[in-house]
Amino acid sequence: MKNGETFFTEKRTMRMPAYTLWENMLFWPTALDEGKLAAAVAGKTILITGASSGIGEQLAYVLGRCQVHLLLVARREEKLRQIKAEIERDGARVSVCGADLRDPAQLEAFLAFLHEQSGGIDIVVSNAGLSIRRPIMDSLERYHDFTRTMAINYFAPVKILLSLTEQLARNKGQIVNVSTINTSLLPLPYWAAYQASKAAFDTWFRSAAPEWSAKGIATTSIYLPLVRTPMILPTAAYRSMPAMSAEHAARLIAKSLYTKRTTIRPWWLLWGELASLFGRGLWERLLPRLLRKRGE
């Protein structure tokens, strides 16, 4: 990806945000062959969860240039309708559903909406998520932080995929899990709710993947670094850290729809995994000291 690179469509211009030197080193360019993408998804019905902002929104715009039927779900139905209006000017068909997938009743209504779609679902992009940064000592009276994080990051996608597995098998479909590099690294303080829920779904997804593959369903796990989306805004420390753009992340996901790669991850993640493996003892000894010093 070149700084300031621009992608033109008939109705929409997408300008990729300029990266810093560090970001260019960490996040290598992603060459997206729009012809191959269009051929791979032509006529398919594609579900994107968490589609009202960030990665999900940008992916909807990328796929909206193809002849597809997009199913977009998020809590903000008004925003989804704005996205729908813009995309449909380019020729794609878009259906939206406003639902908070943490709420059991709304999740059931959403599943009913999915099963009303003619021909079933061909591709699922599991992107919706919730991030919470909070110390344990500030969480003692906030058990709901853990239940709501598990609800959206684990239980909802599990239930959606269980409900759609027969359709996906019939359609020889694909499931893309938008995950995080944190599932491969040592867990960090203050992120217990988020990291536990993402690790739970990643493990479930990888466990189910061979069974899905045997049924003709392709699976892709995309392990993203920090991505500059509205979800990271409450964390002040992230504002100055290197972060991938949501547009870049969307291109990675779109490319996986024709490459069908099972795993996509940053080139440098292996070194992080090795450091996590061999440095665990030192990390667990030093970190409490650093936290005590910070508290003092």
* Residues noted as catalytic: 194
Nearest in space to 83 (alpha carbons), one of 60, 103, 101, 106: 60
Residue 285: other Cβ atoms inside 10 A = 9
Kindly report the three-state secondary structure assignment for every residue of 24-79. HHHCCCCCCCHHHHHHHHCCCEEEEECCCCHHHHHHHHHHCCCCCEEEEEECCHHH
Tokens of 295: 């508290």
Neighbouring C-beta atoms of residue 163, cutoff 10 Å? 17
Which single residue is written with the structure tokens 């795993």? 263
Give CA–CA dist 7/73, Å, rounded.
25
Give the residue ranges of DSSP H helices in the chain.
Answer: 21-26, 34-41, 54-63, 77-88, 104-115, 143-150, 156-170, 192-214, 246-259, 269-278, 280-295
